[in-house]
Amino acid sequence: MRYLLVEDNLELSEAVVNRLALDGHAVDHAASLAEAEEWLSIASYDLILLDVMLPDGDGRDFLARSRARIETPVIVLTARSQVSDRVGALDQGADDYITKPFDFSELEARCRAVLRRRGGSARNEIDLGEAVFDPLAGTLSHHGTTLELRNREIRLLEVFARHQGQILSKSQLLDQLFSYDAQVTENAIEVYVGRLRRRIDGMGLRIETVRGVGYRIETRAP
């Protein structure tokens, strides 16, 4: 998943980026609303983590303005604990909020919950034909066999799973897996796809190469 973090506290931002990166997520960081606008003009995101008090304005006003043009789910980060503040953020378009200081495990859980709701599911697992993928546990199960995946494999399979039937180009996969400051080329995607393809062999899935276009995941009989 690719996240945009809009937060001017650099120490907190670094901690959040590093924590989410450990789970294999790509996170771009904006320290102001102007920087956030720049990121949104060049990239698409699965989730936005938005601070309220920023150097160049109120994150809630930014959210209210942005809702007319972006549908990306937003979790508001706020130091305000008043009910009216939280209700106001939700009414202005936030999908959830979390009060500072927060525990990273709670932040991760809220991210997962928002993404599940946006995907129309109340469960963590994603059905892939006869296989069941659990991105939280990092497992792929098929006919009694359970495969444990590594972080990058989890995120790559999650991208494919959330775009079943679609062809994804190398650049699209690169955008989903790595932040813009990562020194990674599209050749890395070939490597990761090859590794994942070997790992899930025999699990009822196949990653097809569509020559000159990209990749897509297909279900198949064991």
Note the pLDDT of residue 70: 84
Partners of 134 in the β-ladder? 139
Give the architecture-level CATH label for domain 126-219.
Answer: Orthogonal Bundle (1.10)
Convert the chain into a string of H (helix), E (strand) and C (coil).
Answer: CEEEEECCCHHHHHHHHHHHHHCCCEEEEECCHHHHHHHHHHCCCCEEEEECEECCEEHHHHHHHHCCCCCCCEEEEECCCCHHHHHHHHHCCCCEEEECCCCHHHHHHHHHHHHHHHCCCCCCCEEECCEEEECCCCEEEECCEEEECCHHHHHHHHHHHCCCCCCECHHHHHHHHCCCCCCCCHHHHHHHHHHHHHHCCCCCEEEEEECCCEEEEEECCC
Rounded to an integer, the average pLDDT of 104-126 is 83
Rounded to an integer, the average pLDDT of 145-156 is 93
pLDDT greater than 80 at residue 210: yes
What percent of the chain has a predicted confidence (pLDDT) above 70? 96
Note the pLDDT of residue 148: 95
With 0-12 CB in 10 A as exposed, 13-18 as middle and 19+ as buried, what is 66? Answer: buried
Per-residue pLDDT of 51-74, as tens digits, reads 999 999 999 889 988 887 888 999
Per the prediction, the chain carries an average pLDDT of 90
Q: How confident is the model at residue 146 (pLDDT cuts 50, 70, 90)?
A: very high
Q: What angle do CA 86, 15, 77 make, to 5 degrees?
A: 10
* Residue range 2-118, CATH number: 3.40.50.2300
This prediction's pTM? 0.75
- Can you give the residue ranges of every domain in the chain? 2-118, 126-219
Per-residue pLDDT of 69-110, as tens digits, reads 888 999 999 887 677 777 877 888 899 999 999 999 999 999
Note the pLDDT of residue 119: 67
